[in-house]
Amino acid sequence: MGEELPGVGFAAQTAVAGDPVRPGRYLAAFGGQWNAPVAPQGGVVTAAAVRAMRSELDDPAMDLRSVSVMFAARVEEGPAVVEASVLRRGRSMAQASASLRSEGSANGLVAQAVFGRERRGFSFTDPDAPKAPPVDACVDVRELMASQGVTFAVPVMDRVEMRVPKALQGRAGAGESVSWFRLAEGTPLLNGFTDPLAFLPICDMMAGAIGQRTETAARPYISPSCDLTVHLVGRATSEWLLARSRAVHAADGYVSISQDLWDPASGLVARSTQTAFLVFP
């Protein structure tokens, strides 16, 4: 694979190209524009792995229903290799797996995904959407970080816009945050709805809830991801999506976090969970 890195956009950053010699092998490349903060964000590299699984499945009628990822080693900027396969292909559901690693590395991420057609059943949604001020009444998180003296760059924050209610700035108490998100470049579509792959970078941005539970400024830390599981449960059409993230447990240097992602027009679209580990620079 050549050394030229892809464009800035989400589709380009998560694109994969099939290896003409080795079936099931795909090539990818990551630039630094989606780093969080020093390596490509987990949701972005997960989206590339899902693209490879989609390609292997080759059945547009089967929607992505869930994806679970273990981050065994960091994926770096530059060329990457994806190995994808279909584990089982049924009439209404299929399961697939993929591994993605930087070129020359032994490990990276390991992903498993469920794809499925619409089936007959009942419908309900248990949690209610969070109450939040309109987007225009909220604060861009980059401005908030600057006001708190955060000086290091987080490139992904320029690609995924995040706005938070003014009332939550610097509040320590409940381990919960409510935020608006959108891709800065616009919403990628698939079959007339938001491509659910665009949810994945947002679902990997739930760690802000930790800071609502702790005095972040008094003890700076970063919280890299051990894993990420996302359930895709609805279709979105709105530009801005509303996320409620919760940090529900912390012990032994690890934190358990969850997120519900809502389209204000259509309802709940994704649920995600994650274990993060704490690093104190």
Range of the domain at 98: 10-116
- Check whether residue 270 and residue 167 sit in a common domain: yes
Say which CATH number the domain at 184 has: 3.10.129.10
How confident is the model at residue 208, as a pLDDT?
Answer: 86
- Check whether residue 174 and residue 244 sit in a common domain: yes
8 Å CB contact between 234 and 260? no
How confident is the model at residue 215, as a pLDDT?
Answer: 63
Q: How far apart are CA 274 and CA 159, in angstroms?
A: 21
Domain boundary pick from 65, 83, 116: 116
- Check whether residue 171 and residue 98 sit in a common domain: no
8 Å CB contact between 257 and 243? no
Q: Which of these, 51, 13, 12, 64, lies nearest to 270 by C-alpha position?
A: 64
Its pTM stands at 0.93
Q: How far apart are CA 163 and CA 153, in angstroms?
A: 17
CA atoms within 13 A on the CB side of 143: 10
- Check whether residue 49 and residue 179 sit in a common domain: no
Number of domains within the chain: 2
- Check whether residue 201 and residue 269 sit in a common domain: yes
Say which CATH number the domain at 43 has: 2.40.160.210
The answer to whether residue 258 sits within a structural domain is yes
The answer to whether residue 31 sits within a structural domain is yes
Backbone angles phi, psi at 113, to 5 degrees: -140, 150
8 Å CB contact between 79 and 67? no
The answer to whether residue 222 sits within a structural domain is yes
- Check whether residue 111 and residue 139 sit in a common domain: no
The tens place of each residue's pLDDT in the chain, 281 residues long, gives 434 445 789 999 999 999 999 999 999 999 999 999 899 999 999 999 999 999 999 999 999 999 999 999 999 999 999 999 999 999 999 999 999 999 999 999 999 999 999 999 999 998 899 999 999 999 998 888 788 777 667 899 999 999 999 765 545 567 899 999 999 999 899 989 999 999 999 999 999 888 888 765 557 788 999 999 999 999 999 999 999 999 999 999 999 999 999 999 999 999 999 999 999 88
The answer to whether residue 127 sits within a structural domain is no
- Check whether residue 143 and residue 273 sit in a common domain: yes
- Check whether residue 239 and residue 165 sit in a common domain: yes
The answer to whether residue 126 sits within a structural domain is no
The answer to whether residue 166 sits within a structural domain is yes
How confident is the model at residue 151, as a pLDDT?
Answer: 67
Q: Which of these, 119, 100, 125, lies nearest to 111 by C-alpha position?
A: 100
- Check whether residue 140 and residue 267 sit in a common domain: yes
- Check whether residue 95 and residue 222 sit in a common domain: no
How confident is the model at residue 225, as a pLDDT?
Answer: 95
How confident is the model at residue 146, as a pLDDT?
Answer: 83
Contacts for 56 with CB less than 8 Å, ≥ 6 apart: 24, 84, 85, 86, 96
8 Å CB contact between 231 and 198? no
Quickly count: other Cβ atoms within 10 Å of residue 218's Cβ. Answer: 7
How confident is the model at residue 132, as a pLDDT?
Answer: 93
- Check whether residue 239 and residue 148 sit in a common domain: yes
- Check whether residue 86 and residue 176 sit in a common domain: no
The answer to whether residue 44 sits within a structural domain is yes
Domain boundary pick from 116, 151, 182: 116
8 Å CB contact between 223 and 255? yes
The answer to whether residue 124 sits within a structural domain is no
